Amino acid sequence: MKAVHYLNQFFAGLGGEDKAETPPVRLDGAVGPGRGLAAELEDVDIVATIACGDDYFAEHEDEALATLLAYLEEDPPDVLVAGPAFGSGRYGYACGTLVAAAAERGIASVAAMHPENPGVDAAGKAYVVPTAVNVAGMRDVLPRLARVASALAAGRELGTPDQGGYLPRGFRRNYFAEKTGAERAIDLLLAKLGGETRTEVGGGLDRVEPPAAVPDLSQALVALVTEAGCVPQGNPDRLPAVRAQGWFRYDLTGEETLSAARYESVHGGFDVTLANEDPNRLVPLDTARELEREGRIGRLHEAFYTTTGNGTPVVTSTRFGREIAGELREAGVGAVLLSGT
């Protein structure tokens, strides 16, 4: 049986962030982590690796997806495997989008990534094997990913998510439980007391309804907020480059622009070279001041808010949002320009 493996530019050995604009390519056989995956597959050979730069996929999704699917259609595999993408959002989104599209075309597909990766939602009803948040979990996930991929290639049933080792896909099936609800609740409580948190309730990301449009921006107080890790030079408050646990507020009084001599990005999820050449690419203070002078916005808030969105869990990000929004609401801010990566 045949498998095709999807990787981003880094894991395919094409380069790092400097090669994130690489268009789709097809490589013979297994490369990078595919070699470890190949050793774990059962009666399945990785005949080809298809790869694409994270930025290219994000900026040219339709073209990239069409090219990658065309590679699959040239010689349809028994299974498509994507990742592992771990906590990388751009890579995970590409993996999820590709396996969802391939599954719609009848190709058995599975991706691997952290459960809080946005690519999980993009995968739709395709299979997703959970991973650790970073590449340190590679050795653990490859055997589990190989088991699912091998079963899909052979057309074997995977059973429930717990049995098959994949994330719930939103399907509900009735079955007779071995224990009553009360007994299972006690088991969950004892596990929690023992330091292990389990649940029988599937999770999911909240959907936030957008607020009403600002009636008149020329009268509004506008704030600048970013998750691009923009901080004063030297990172005096030690904002982490990944998995931030807090956010910071920096005063803009008297500032007309964010100069490269005074500000930098410490974000660990993208190439910050161009951002550090001109930090206004992260937090557009220069443009916001111009809009303020022209009267197109009423006034700019006296501080900007910053954190690092790289690998930060959803629950932590939600807390950040609530805390920052609370301050802005109290200050009378009517609109926020939120710059991301």
Instruction: Map out the domains of the chain as residue ranges.
Output: 2-164, 217-339
Instruction: Label residue 318 by pLDDT band (50, 70, 90).
Output: confident
Torsion of CA 94, 100, 102, 106, to 10 degrees: 170
Q: Is the pLDDT of residue 204 over 70?
A: no
pLDDT score for 205: 61
Integer Cα distance of 122 and 205 in angstroms: 12
* Residue type for position 242: V
Integer Cα distance of 339 and 327 in angstroms: 18
pLDDT score for 197: 86
Buried b (16+ CB within 10 A) or exposed e, 136-164: ebbeebbebbbbbbbbbbeeeeeeebeeb
- Name the least confident of 87-101, 135-149, 159-173: 159-173
CB 117 within 8 Å of CB 39: no
| Structure confidence by residue, pLDDT tens digits, 320-333 | 999 999 999 999 99
pLDDT score for 274: 92
Higher pLDDT, 313 or 244: 244
Q: Considering only the C-alpha atoms of the chain, give the largest distance between any 2 of them, rounded to a whole number of Å.
A: 70
Residue indicated by tokens 């599209």: 101
How do strand 45-52 and strand 25-28 relate by DSSP bridges? antiparallel
Report how far apart, in Å, the C-alpha atoms of 66 and of each of 54, 208, 238, 338 are: 15, 31, 42, 31
What predicted TM-score, i.e. pTM, was given to this entire model?
Answer: 0.64
CB 301 within 8 Å of CB 337: no
The CATH-assigned architecture of domain 2-164 is: 3-Layer(aba) Sandwich (3.40)
Number of H helices and E strands in the chain, helices first, is 11, 12
pLDDT score for 94: 96
Element (H, E) at 305: strand 299-306
